[in-house]
């Protein structure tokens, strides 16, 4: 039995061949700014991998924060279906974050040491988004604030979340 599928011509009829004078994919995603953020401090080959993994993790955490906040708001209004959808999305995003470490495992300790000195005392423990996710998920330990004082106004936001 043959399915009623559109032909290739029908399926691509509305595809755009010219993007002149239109909002582009690159503009929408702000790719120029995003890719400019990959600015290694050394010539070490693996530093770009390190930056990429950590940028991606921060972007995932941004989504997780939005979804956790949305789910919390939905639950407070007893809107369970949208809350469950948002929490499922959080779970999938966390899986993606975990899977990213598989790529980072391709970097040896010696590779990492080629550029680690360049960012001094900076550490992922200073991520305000990581702390926000921790707080939104219920870990509101005061010890988490140890590395937050450098954040300025973001630190104030963390305190509000921690106390809520």
The whole-angstrom separation of Cα 158 and Cα 138 is 13
pLDDT the model gives residue 5:
73
pTM attached to this predicted model = 0.77
pLDDT the model gives residue 10:
66
pLDDT averaged over every residue in the chain: 86
pLDDT the model gives residue 27:
92
pLDDT the model gives residue 70:
97
Residue 133: exposure state from Cβ atoms within 10 A (0-12, 13-18, ≥19): buried
Residue 40: exposure state from Cβ atoms within 10 A (0-12, 13-18, ≥19): middle
Instruction: Delimit the domains of the chain by residue range.
Output: 45-119, 121-164
The whole-angstrom separation of Cα 8 and Cα 97 is 36
């Amino acid at each position: 039995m043959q399915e009623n599928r559109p032909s290739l011509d029908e399926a691509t009829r509305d595809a755009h061949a010219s993007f002149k004078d239109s909002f582009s994919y690159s503009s929408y995603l702000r790719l120029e700014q995003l890719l400019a953020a990959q600015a290694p401090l050394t010539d070490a080959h693996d530093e770009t991998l390190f930056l990429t993994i950590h940028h991606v993790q921060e972007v995932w955490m941004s989504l997780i924060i939005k979804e956790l906040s949305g789910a919390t708001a939905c639950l407070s209004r007893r809107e369970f279906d949208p809350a469950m959808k948002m929490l499922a999305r959080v779970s999938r995003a966390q899986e993606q974050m975990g899977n990213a470490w598989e790529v980072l495992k391709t970097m040896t300790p010696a590779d990492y040491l080629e550029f680690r000195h360049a960012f001094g005392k900076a550490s992922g423990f200073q991520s305000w988004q990581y702390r926000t996710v921790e707080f939104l998920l219920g870990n509101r330990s005061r010890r988490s604030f140890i590395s937050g004082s450098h954040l300025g106004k973001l630190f104030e936001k963390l305190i509000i979340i921690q106390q809520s």
